[in-house]
């Protein structure tokens, strides 16, 4: 039971994922459709991976449920950040409600944590899990769509001519020096 609870510790994520990938490769080498749990250690690894997948399953749920869980989780993070601020402590990652990047954090969480785990799990024990992976991609796309798009750089000080691009050097120097940098052009 203790091993199962510890499987929810994110510091163990990479080792759990590596174990899963090793089991997938073993299954491929043996040419079997089902992973054979030959020993107690393999059974524990499978159970730990299953619990870990359950712990990271919110992004695989229908979008309405997923969004509700993200909102709840962010409220919990922000409450922690508020308390850290009150105590004069350094703010934990993603706990500053004034600088929240929910959309980007969810896309990154799916790309680097959840998708590799679920893709590997599906390969190992549930090859027909394409519905789960499709839902995961749909949820990723939803949050990606919500990321504010950065406007293209201003081109108001650039003109096109037969000789190429022509810059207003005074405006360029002014803009660069506003950012605390120095720049000069001599002709």
Compute CA 90 distance to the chain's CA centroid, rounded to the nearest angstrom: 23
SS3 category, 62: coil
What proportion of the chain, given as a percentage, has pLDDT over 90? 48
Judge whether 95 and 80 are in contact, CB under 8 Å: yes
pLDDT above 80 (res 168): no
Cα–Cα distance, 174 to 187 (Å, whole number): 18
- Per-residue confidence at 27, pLDDT binned at 50, 70, 90? confident
Question: Structure pTM?
Answer: 0.73
pLDDT at residue 37 is higher than 70: yes
Q: Tell me how far apart the alpha carbons of residues 103 and 142 are, in angstroms, rounded to a whole number.
A: 9
Q: Please tell me whether residue 85 adopts helix, strand or coil conformation.
A: helix
User: Which is it for the CA torsion 108, 111, 115, 120, positive or negative?
Assistant: negative
In tens, the pLDDT along 64-111 reads 999 999 999 999 999 999 999 999 999 998 999 999 899 999 999 999
Helices (H), the chain: 2-6, 13-30, 40-55, 63-86, 102-109, 115-125, 130-146, 169-178
């Amino acid at each position: 039971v203790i091993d199962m609870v510890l499987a929810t510790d994110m510091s163990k994520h990479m080792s759990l994922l590596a174990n899963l990938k090793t089991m997938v490769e073993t299954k491929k080498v043996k040419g079997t459709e089902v992973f054979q749990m030959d020993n107690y250690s393999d059974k524990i690894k499978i159970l730990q991976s299953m619990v870990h997948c359950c712990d990271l399953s919110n992004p695989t749920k229908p979008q309405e449920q997923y969004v509700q869980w993200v909102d709840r989780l962010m409220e919990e993070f922000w409450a922690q950040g508020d308390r850290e601020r009150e105590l004069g402590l350094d703010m934990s990652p993603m706990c500053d409600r004034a600088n929240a990047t929910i959309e980007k954090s969810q896309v990154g969480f799916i790309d680097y944590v959840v998708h590799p785990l679920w893709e590997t799990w599906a390969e190992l024990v549930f090859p027909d899990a394409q519905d789960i992976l499709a839902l995961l991609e749909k949820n990723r796309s939803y949050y990606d769509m919500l990321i504010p798009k950065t406007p293209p750089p201003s081109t108001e000080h650039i003109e096109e001519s037969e000789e190429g691009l022509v810059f207003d050097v005074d405006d360029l120097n002014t803009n660069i020096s506003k950012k605390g940098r120095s720049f000069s052009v001599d002709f």
